[in-house]
Structure 1
Amino acid sequence: MITTSSPARPPELRPRRLRTARGDFAVLDMPPAAGVPVRGTVLLLPGYTGSKEDFTLVLEPLAARGYRAVAVDGRGQHGSDGPVDDETAYAQDELAKDVLAQARALYAPVHLVGHSMGGQIARAAVLLDHTPFRSLTLVSSGAARISASQEQRVTLLRDALAGMSMEECWEAILAMGPPGEVGGPARGIGGPEQLRERWVSTRPAQLLATGRQLCAEPDRVAELAAVPLPFHVLSGSHDDTWPVPELDAMARRLKARRTVVDGAGHTPVVDRPAPTAQSLAGFFDTLEAR
């Protein structure tokens, strides 16, 4: 899905740099709405080929419920710097340490939300150190490696990146149809030129390294279940990256809250932002009320 125009950006939404002990990261920072009691801070991580802009339509509803909502470009994603060719800089452990630094830079235990690949990075961060976090929400992010069909798409993309520029890859992918959800430019907010700019500004090494991670991720749910945090598993009602029954089973293993957003696919924050934001805030509210 490519929207033909960008939604109006609320005047309170601040694109800025988040300074951390591991470098600066591009963020969209939405403060709690005026006159609303402040309830907490939410840190949102995008998925493979995604960016912070994917969360644009859920930031304002979260702010209206009293949450500071901060969506971040990870290392090498869109607006955040990173090596062009050094894949070792994008090892999952390195990206997880970045998330820990981002949470600490926000000066409070944060509600961590990770979409797709961002969910697996969020999980890795929590397994390294859960103390900077208030909760963990996995959005369309499964227990282990992606489905065989999506693995084929990611492998094709990695093969293309090995011999083509980002601009050439963009043109080749568009020739096959509109942007997809995992193994190609992500569905997102904005028109074609904005999605193209997001794609070409992402570092190739980041896509190569994280693509390999998606195709080889082990099942770490048992480790995660031992972490003393509240969990939430949220997805659309259909998903070919991690089948919905697999997400149901993961939620049971985690004893997590489970939310299925009717009519949404792999990217509920784009497909159905209003009910997605409502579900996120509802989960956070139950924790803040304790």
Structure 2
Amino acid sequence: MSTPRFLNLPPGVTPLKLETPQGVFAALEALPVSGVVERWPALLVPGLTGSKEDFIAVLQTLAQSGRRVLAVDLRGQYETPGPDDPGAYTCAALGADIDLLAQIVGDGEPLHLVGHSFGGLVTREAVIDGRTKFASFTLMSSGPAAIVGRRAHASRRIMEEVPRFGLEQVWHDSFEPEALSAGVPDDILAFLRKRLLSNSPVGLSRMAREVVTMHDRTEELRQVEVPTLVLYGEHDDGWPADVQAEMAGALGAEIVVVPGAAHSPAVEAPETTAAALIRFWNRAETRHMDTRSASV
């Protein structure tokens, strides 16, 4: 279990509420501490049991590249409320939320989209549905279809046990022992507990079902022709590295393997991860401008 550096927000990073026709979404907004916003914005989307705080360690660095960068909680996740309707938490429904958020954050500008783990499956829906034109798309520690291995087992436990026993019991039986065995400090342990118990039980259970049943949409994503980056840690224990590399090849995407990182590169290797994102975003913007100039 990776833990974010969250207790003190970096300079230039502030909490924000984003108003949409689908409700209010909790976010962290990062702006350059020095300089001005001169490049296209970015929207970062977390994984199944995560939240916007999972990106705290990269937000300041990303913003200093001249961008407005926002990390959000999905519907029903941590500080974003959600309904008791399981249908609100399918990847398609959550992807429609991302479309709305992207259009608000972008405000007419192209926008860079990043999805971590389950967030990659959600954001992929927004890219494929064609409602929003994205400047680039990054799949961070995310795969082409259902997650596998121990993380699939953990997701099935969430899917089955949250409706039966509730979040509090699942915390005590699964999440707390894992965090304690990893030596997580008390203050971060308290945050992880608060975050899990703040989730919508209906939403968390349905999202867990989505991540273990998702079908492969690689071919549909390839047809969108958005500049794509596949980024993952060399020790990723979610989707196997060879599966992510094969997906990247099928997409014609760039690949970055983050040394020393596992399933959460933005937490485990923030500077390397941020530098890779900035390089990719800058190249995508340059290619866009070159194409635009050539067509004039």
What letter matches 2:101 in structure 1? Q
- Structure 1 unpaired stretches of 5+: 181-186
TM score, norm. by length of structure 2: 0.90
Residue 3 of structure 1: how far off its partner (Å): 5.4
Residue 150 of structure 1: how far off its partner (Å): 2.5
SS in 2 for 1:67: coil
Query: Which protein has the bigger helix share?
Result: 2
RMSD of aligned residue pairs (Cα, Å):
2.2
Give the corresponding residue for 2:113: 112
| 203 and 248 in structure 1: CA distance in 2 versus 1, 3 angstrom threshold | same
SS in 1 for 2:41: strand
| Residues 153-175 of structure 1, C-alpha deviations (whole Å, 9 max, x = no match) | 21122222122221221111145
Alignment partners' CA distance in 2, 1:24 and 1:175: 30
- Structure 2 unpaired stretches of 5+: 288-296
TM score, norm. by length of structure 1: 0.92
Residue 37 of structure 1: how far off its partner (Å): 5.4
Give matches, 1:154-233, under 5 Å.
154-174=155-175, 176-178=177-179, 191-233=188-230
Residue 21 of structure 1: how far off its partner (Å): 2.4
What letter matches 2:59 in structure 1? L
What letter matches 1:96 in structure 2? G
Say how many residue pairs are matched.
Answer: 283
Alignment partners' CA distance in 1, 2:32 and 2:130: 27
Looking at both structures, which has the greater relative contact order when contacts are Cα pairs under 8 Å and sequence separation is at least 6?
A: 1
| 232 and 51 in structure 1: CA distance in 2 versus 1, 3 angstrom threshold | same
Alignment partners' CA distance in 2, 1:65 and 1:212: 37
Asked whether the 8 Å contact 1:237–1:264 carries over to 2, the reply is: yes
| 26 and 175 in structure 1: CA distance in 2 versus 1, 3 angstrom threshold | closer
Asked whether the 8 Å contact 1:2–1:179 carries over to 2, the reply is: no
Q: Which moved more, 1:56-65 or 1:7-16?
A: 7-16
Give the corresponding residue for 1:287: 284
| 175 and 90 in structure 1: CA distance in 2 versus 1, 3 angstrom threshold | closer
| 22 and 174 in structure 1: CA distance in 2 versus 1, 3 angstrom threshold | closer
Residue 149 of structure 1: how far off its partner (Å): 3.2
SS in 1 for 2:257: strand
Asked whether the 8 Å contact 1:137–1:232 carries over to 2, the reply is: yes
| Residues 49-71 of structure 1, C-alpha deviations (whole Å, 9 max, x = no match) | 00000000110000111121100
SS in 2 for 1:95: helix
Residue 285 of structure 1: how far off its partner (Å): 0.7
| 104 and 179 in structure 1: CA distance in 2 versus 1, 3 angstrom threshold | farther
Residue 289 of structure 1: how far off its partner (Å): 2.2
Asked whether the 8 Å contact 1:90–1:209 carries over to 2, the reply is: yes
| 214 and 5 in structure 1: CA distance in 2 versus 1, 3 angstrom threshold | closer
Percent sequence identity over aligned pairs: 39
What letter matches 1:114 in structure 2? G
| 224 and 6 in structure 1: CA distance in 2 versus 1, 3 angstrom threshold | closer
Asked whether the 8 Å contact 1:32–1:38 carries over to 2, the reply is: no
What letter matches 2:92 in structure 1? D
Give matches, 1:1-290, under 5 Å.
1=1, 6-36=6-36, 38-83=38-83, 85-106=84-105, 107=107, 108-129=109-130, 131-174=132-175, 176-178=177-179, 191-290=188-287
| 119 and 174 in structure 1: CA distance in 2 versus 1, 3 angstrom threshold | closer
Asked whether the 8 Å contact 1:15–1:29 carries over to 2, the reply is: yes
